[in-house]
Amino acid sequence: MGQLEGQVAIVTGAGSGIGRATAQAFAREGCRVALVGRRPEPLDELAAELGNAALAVPADVADPAAVDAAVAQVLEAWGRVDVLVNNAGLNVPGRHLPDVSPQDWATVLGVNLTGTFAMTQAVLPTMRAQGSGTVLNVSSIAGLRAYPPSGPAYSAAKAGVNSFTESLNLTERVHGIRACAVCPGEVATPILDRRPVPPSAEARELMLQPDDLAQTLLFVAALPARATVELLTINPTVQRDTSNG
């Protein structure tokens, strides 16, 4: 029997990177997984790979109406939500403070922070009714301290995710709901291609890989309900000099 046998998870940003690896890891452990993302094609491809364990649900987490519709689709199909993985995230190429436009700021916070809020709020009534639920928020070390490669908008969004996670545990633990902010260092995902100077292939080999984060999220999700990991940091063993972005 898998570690998540019989459970239902929603994974945002499931089309690539950490989200894709997490959906695969959860499905291997007996979990049914709703794959949420903006692009239908990679979701459909992954759903075909995972078979009956997966449901492709195209949606933009920055759109509250789309979020509500996505969660309603999952509940219609499977009737419950045991785990929410708020992984969807993005950044913009012009991310250093003098280059950040108001629109870029709003875009980054809209997906990374407001999307996390919207998805969580949409599943809370179901989790409360169940008396159980786990919310896993993929944050960043950029949410713990200013991090030059990420820029201020991304750092502010992830700091907000960390604070939001604290608030979730403060108010929802009495309903059997727990939340964890997972703060990784550099992870070799497609988001790196949007950096002003994308890291080399050699540098990416030294970074955390999507499977490393998938295993971390699985570890937290599979803990007994009595245990809550509120904040978890994970870094590459070899640290690169990122002081200049």
Token pair for 97: 């403070």
For the chain, count helices (H), then strands (E).
8, 7
Q: Which residues of 4-34 are buried (b: 16+ CB within 10 A; e: fewer)?
A: beebbbbbbbbbbbbbbbbbbbbbebebbbb
Q: How many CB atoms neighbour CB 94 within 10 A?
A: 14
The CATH class of 8-234 is alpha beta
Q: Are 141 and 147 within 8 A, CB to CB?
A: yes
What share of the chain has pLDDT > 90, as a percent? Answer: 88
Give the torsion sign (CA, 172, 173, 175, 176): positive
Query: What is the distance between the alpha carbons of residues 175 and 131, in angstroms, rounded to a whole number?
Result: 5
How do the domains of the chain map onto residue ranges?
A: 8-234
Write down the pLDDT at residue 242: 79
Place of tokens 């545990």: 169
Q: 208 pairs with which residues across the strands?
A: 187
Grade residue 134 by pLDDT with cuts at 50, 70 and 90: very high
179 CB neighbour count, 10 Å cutoff: 27
Q: Which residues are catalytic?
A: 154
Q: What is the pLDDT of residues 95-131, one digit of tens each?
A: 889 999 999 999 999 999 999 999 999 999 999 999 9
19: Cα separation from own chain's centroid: 7
Per-residue pLDDT tens for 139-193?
Answer: 999 999 998 899 999 999 999 999 999 999 999 999 999 999 999 999 999 888 8
Task: For residue 216, give both structure tokens.
Answer: 């971390």
Max Cα distance, the chain (Å) = 53
**pLDDT tens digits for range 42-73:** 999 999 999 999 999 999 999 999 999 999 99
The C-alpha R_g of the chain, in whole angstroms, comes to: 17
What the block records as the tokens of 165 is 């996670």
pLDDT at 194 over 90: no
